[in-house]
Structure formats: structure tokens, C-alpha cells
Structure 1
């Protein structure tokens, strides 16, 4: 199966249109009109800004297209923290502000195989530490406990998937793509989109598994099978896709909130399969919060309990309502979203090659959603 985050890292800034579209479907709450989000472009000097992090009045960005991690400066300029960072995709600053950490992955552009991956932890005025998630994955392979594909496929089903180049019956394999990172207490949590797991990484570079995300099963209908060009014998088969975590945030309740972008064709053919999970870091317990997202690449936790999700393939930011996605703001190319302490949102969009358009960082004023979209964490 094509692994979407691996595709994002390889394609860099060549995937999305850059158009700011007015918000859709503003609703009212208790008779009062909902505030209209007001996107303002703060930088258009980016390519593939896969992640943002907010610390006090500073904005950090990891740009996989430019291979850099940096600060948003005056006039939209990006002041580098580090350059020549292949596949830079996640960035976070420690709670005390003394360190910054970012993820990188070296990917073969032809095969999408990851040769190197990990977390860099830089102490301002001090040493830099490397945590090698690829080596940890080779040694531990936490998601080997997961089974993917089809259990006991018939010969017709096995032949059909083999002909289409789909793995059809396998356990979690060795693969690391350290994609996103969040500061957690005196350490870091990495969402590894290749290992399908969350790792705790210490400031000394030590790694341990916090949680393995569950397989994402889909029962293939006749329409899905026809759209994929597979034979009729595949209809009715349940295929367990890999979970592919793409972002992690720390909730006020101490749980970790994670977006999943399931492996396989990322289109409406198989439905909107992206989801949000919450993970108890104390014991690895995993609970589903919401589903129905089309390309869930990032999330933000608002100051009033909101959950915002960047839906890359739908070109919008959505919120959670009654366990499902609810469109909030159309923003083509949106790949990242963060919430500031004042309630505003910041988002990032991918650049595009045809027609040429840069990646951006956008501030969305009055980014609060109403209580109807708030979940109890």
C-alpha cells in the first residue's frame, strides 16, 4: 500500500493549490451568529510546511520541501534554526523553552522506502542530541503485534491483491517515519507514521514505545472494488489498513490526541477514513474520538475544548462533533493546524508546482468554534 505521509515527504511542495476560500456553513449557537474565521497570510515563503508549533509569541515551522526548521519572522521571512534537514516534518519547543526538537526522514524518491529517520533535540546554547527511531524500529518493531490486510484470504482474493500490488496478509513490518513531535513533560512524544506507534523520546535520545495504534478495517463494497479495478471476489472482504499516525498533541487532561491517515488509496473511493484517537500515555490505552476525515494530517486542541483537524484531501479544516467530522473552514492545501493560547488558529498550506504557488502560513482570527463542536476529553 502507498503510505500517504511517505508520499507527502517525497513530493514536498508539489501537491496543493494555494487559494484562500471563504468559510462555509457558519452556524449559530443559541441564537447568536457564529464568528466568521478570517484567514490572514503571514508568510508565503514556504514549500511543504508540514508542521507548526506555537511558543508564546513565536511560530516554528518544519518545511520538508525546503529541508529546514525555522522561526516565522517579520515580513514572512523564515529565520533558520537548522538547514539541510531531509524530510523535516515535525517540530516542537519544550515546555520550558530551552530546547527545540524536529523530525527528519531520508526517503528513496523511487521506492518511498525510508533509510533513516529520527528526532533531533537541540538545546539553545548547548548540545544537540540525535534519537534514531529507525534503529529502534529495527530492534523492536512494536506494531508486529498488528495484523494488516485480509485474514485467510481466498486464492482469488490473494491473487487479485497481488496483481494490483497490494499486500494482502501481513503483520507490521520494520519501517520508521518519525513524522510529528510534541513536547510532553520533560521529554517528547513522536508520532511515527511508519512504525504506526507513538514513541517517548528523552532528552538523552532514549526511546521507548508509548502505544501502538490499531489497524483500520474497511469492508470493501462492490462499488469500491469496481473503482479499484479488482475482481468481484474481493467484494465483502474486510481489509485492515495500517493506521499511519500523522500528528500528536497533548490535551489538558494529560491524554495524547492523534490523527490517523490510514494507508491505501487516499481518495473518496474508500470513503473518508481519517480519524482522531486519544491515548493514555500512562498505559497505552487507545480510544477513538472521531472519524470521517478525508486526509487527516494534523490537529489542534483549542482553548475551549475544541478539536480542529486539517483534512488535506478535502482542502479544509474540520472540527469534531458527535464523533464525526464537521467542516469549519475551506482551505485548499491545508496540511497543518495549531491553536494559540488566545484562541486563534494558525494553519499551513502546501505549495504547488502547476500552477506555481508557494506554501503559506496563515493566521485565522477568532478561531473559536462553539460548544456544539466541543468534546469532553
Structure 2
């Protein structure tokens, strides 16, 4: 069976459920101060077009964009007013992703075989390309996952084994009994920081890891199972509807907050559907995950500004929400079609939109179905937009670039523009 719904492999499958744009609901918050006013979206401009699967990108000096076109093999650089440039090409059958920038280099992952639980088929690598175009493989993330399997400490699925008659009616791949985390790697996001190293959020691993500049890997944190109640209308049998189910958390993005903590979006695995996406805070002292807010419909990207406001892309609700500093209640920031990744730079928030446009379907019966086009006319490709922010946002925070690097202890370092 598949371990989870890896964020990059099953986005279309979840989108095909036709999830409604349900209002986001409140969750927990770490010692919340008095809430500040919510940031307000200003002028919106399109800064890049014609992209296929812009599920991860980084913003550099002057608004230069390094974009992983995850429905292709291309890692692309787009400069203001310039022609797109291919920075790197993933091997055939691999997808690029998890883009971040630091000290003139671009860090990214290439991945294949997510969800197979097969160490031969499932290969994920962290690579870099420098100013001279030299590509280096830094670490084999999948090798670490199959050796260590960090989320084997978690128990997922039904709280008790289903009776045989009910179990026989479950969709293929859904376990009828509780199970512990299985080895699977599918990197979704990366974050550079001080002291050397890169934080990677792995959607298959259900964990954050630190990869040193020398390629050593250590687990930073494992996200907890997400308790849900099996809803009706998702193709599961009536005998399972209403039962408690511990879904896999599936981290999709990671950023550092002004408090030194790591913030992570979670797109839970089966049963898919409903506003079960969350944001977790990884305490810099204990490295324990703590719920910040929940109720997001497909939380696939986030950004945190110096004021502590948290922006969240809700891919399946066609909106970007914001959790104001001191609050645990998300609010609508901007309606946007299929937003996937977010980055802050200067006085603007960048977002990839129409992120599932052009999703290949192929003949593989295990491949996720294409999403229903949410717009008329349906977009053929994805884009990146720039959203001006008002003064309340307090300037940029974390732009996937900087002069320092992160050791994995969650402590925020001073960052400077490239």
C-alpha cells in the first residue's frame, strides 16, 4: 500500500474531489499575544507565465525567480524582463522541487518513485547549482529515509482494525488496521539557514530533516498524526464513515519565523477531503511540533513575515489566507486560482498560481487523475504573481536566500539579500 498521499504526487487526486472553499477554522497557538491587524493585499502583477507545475520557487535579488517546473524536468531562472534560462535539468522520470537560494547557489531536489515504498524505485536527491552552472549532488535523502524511517514512531489509520466485511469494501491501498510509518521520500520544500545545512520538509517522510553542507542528514522533527473523522462522500464504505482515523501529516513547506521557530504546513493524507490542513510550529528549544492553526483546504505553501503574520496557500480552496500575529484564526488575504507556493521578498508576497494547469495524466492506472478546470477558460499553464503588501507587514521575512545557513536548531539568523 502507499504510505500516504505525498504532497507533490497527489495534489490532483485531491483536487479532483471538488473540495468546497470552506471557511478556515481556529487552532492552537503558541502563547498568543494580542492579535495585530491582518495584512492587506495591494496591487497584484504577474511576473512569470507559461509554467508547468510551479510547485516550488525561490526569489532572489531584483525579483529573479528560480522555479521548479515539477510537471517537467526543468529548473528555470526568470529575470525581470529577461528570457527564461534553464539552470538544471532533472533526469528523465524525475521531478525537480524544493527550491531555495543561498550565497549565490540554488538548492533543489530531484525525485522519483514517491509512494512506492521501494528503495530501488524511490530516489530523492538534494542538489545545488552555483553561479558557474556547476551542479553538485549534496545528499541522497531517500537513502536516509529507507535506513532511518523517522516517522515509524507514529501510528496511522483506524484506531482499531475494521471487521473483515467492512475491510473488504475499502478502496485499494487503504489499510484496515492501524499501521506505523512506512519508508517513503518525497521532498516538498527546503530552507537554507545559518551555520551550514539545509532544512528539507519531506512529504513522504512526514518529517523535517537537516542536510549539512557535507551531506550528513539528521532528523529535526516528525509531525504528529492528524486526527480526523472519516467523512461521507469520499468513496469509502458506510461502515467506515464516522470512525476516527489518524491521517499522515504530509509536510509541504517550511519557513523560519521571527521567533526563531520553524513553521510547517501540513496537507494530511487519506482520507482526503475537507479543511484538515494545518500549520505547525517547531519549538527551537525542544524541536517539538505544536499546532498553530488548522482548517485549511490544501495547505501547500506558507510565508512568515517579521511581524509574525503567517500566509498560507490553500490550493484546493483557491485562496491565500493569513493568520495574523497573535491570532489562531485564518482570514482571507487574497482569492487566487490554485495557489501552491509562497515567498516573501521586500515589500511583496510572491505566489505561484494555476499550479495544476498542464498536469500530465499518462497511462499509469496508479497516477492521480487530472483536476477539473476551476476557471473558464481553463488556464493552460501556471504563473507567478507579485502581491504588494501594506506597511503592517513589517518588511520581508525569509526569502529562501541569505548570507547565513541553518543548523537545524530552529534559531533564526540574520539574513541579507543576495
TM-score (norm 2): 0.74
Distance 1:121 1:283 in 2: 30
Deviation at 1:328, TM superposition (A): 1.1
Equivalent of 2:228, from 218, 221, 239? 218
Compared with structure 1, are the counterparts of its residues 36 and 260 closer, same or farther at alpha carbon in structure 2 (3 Å cutoff)? closer
Structure 1 partner of 2:380 = 357
Q: Which runs of 5+ in 1 are unaligned?
A: 16-31, 372-376
Report the alpha carbon displacement of residue 90 of structure 1 after superposing the two structures with TM: 1.1
The alpha-carbon deviation at position 40 of structure 1 amounts to 0.5
- State the shift of 1:365 in Å: 1.5
Residue aligning to 1:21: none
Shift of 1:43: 1.2
Shift of 1:366: 2.3
Distance 1:327 1:212 in 2: 29
Classify 1:158/1:282 alpha carbon distance in 2 versus 1 (closer, same or farther; 3 Å). Answer: farther
Question: Which region of structure 1 is more displaced relative to structure 2, 272-281 or 136-145?
Answer: 272-281
Cα 1:9–1:67 shift into 2, 3 Å: farther
Give the secondary structure class of the aligned counterpart of 2:239. helix
Separation in structure 2 between the aligned mates of residue 249 and residue 276 of structure 1, nearest angstrom: 11
2:292 paired residue among 276, 289, 294 = 289
1:299 maps to 2:312: no
Given that 2:257 and 2:263 are in contact with CA atoms closer than 8 Å, whether structure 1 keeps it comes out as yes
CA contact (8 A) 2:90 2:110 kept: no
Q: Report the counterpart of residue 124 of structure 2 in structure 1.
A: 117
Q: Contact 1:91/1:101 (CA < 8 Å) preserved in 2?
A: yes
CA change 1:161–1:260 in 2 (3 A) is: farther
SS in 2 for 1:167: coil
| Corresponding residue number in structure 2 for 1:106 | 112
What's the CA shift string for 1:78-127, capped at 9, x where partnerless? 22221235211211112xx1432101211379x79762112113344466
Contact 2:117 2:184 in 1 (8 A): no
In the other structure, the counterpart of 1:374 is none
- Bigger relative CO (Cα 8 Å, ≥ 6 apart): 2
Q: Tell me the CA shift for residue 302 of structure 1.
A: 1.9
Matched position secondary structure for 1:176: coil
More helix by share: 1
Q: Distance in 2 between matches of 1:108 and 1:293?
A: 24
Q: Does the residue aligned with 2:340 lie in a helix, a strand or coil?
A: strand
**Greater fraction strand:** 1
Shift of residue 142, structure 1, vs aligned partner = 0.6
C-alpha separation between the residues in 1 aligned to 2:204 and 2:158?
Answer: 20
Counterpart residue number, 1:132: 140
Specify whether residues 43 and 303 from structure 1 end up closer, same or farther in structure 2 by C-alpha distance, changes over 3 A only: same
Q: How many residues align?
A: 344
Q: 2:217 matched to 1:182?
A: no
The aligned counterpart of 2:257 is: 251
Aligned residues of 2:127 and 2:135 also touching (Cα < 8 A): no
Rate the CA distance shift 1:59–1:33 in 2: closer, same or farther, 3 A: closer
Cα gap change, 1:153/1:181 in structure 2, threshold over 3 Å: closer, same or farther?
Answer: same
Checking the alignment, whether the CA contact within 8 Å between 1:46 and 1:351 is kept in structure 2 is: no
Structure 1: distance between partners of 2:38 and 2:304 = 22
> Is the partner of 1:262 in helix, strand or coil?
coil
> Are positions 1:237 and 2:246 aligned together?
no
Q: TM-score, normalised by structure 1?
A: 0.82
RMSD of aligned residue pairs (Cα, Å)? 3.0
In 1, distance between residues paired with 2:297 and 2:66?
26
Could you tell me whether the CA contact under 8 Å between 1:266 and 1:313 is conserved in 2? Answer: no
Q: Secondary structure at the match of 1:205?
A: coil
Matched, 1:323 2:328: yes
Q: Deviations over 1:300-325 (max 9, x none)?
A: 11233211000000011001153232
Instruction: Name stretches of at least 5 consecutive residues in structure 2 with no aligned partner.
Output: 17-36, 359-372, 395-411, 413-418
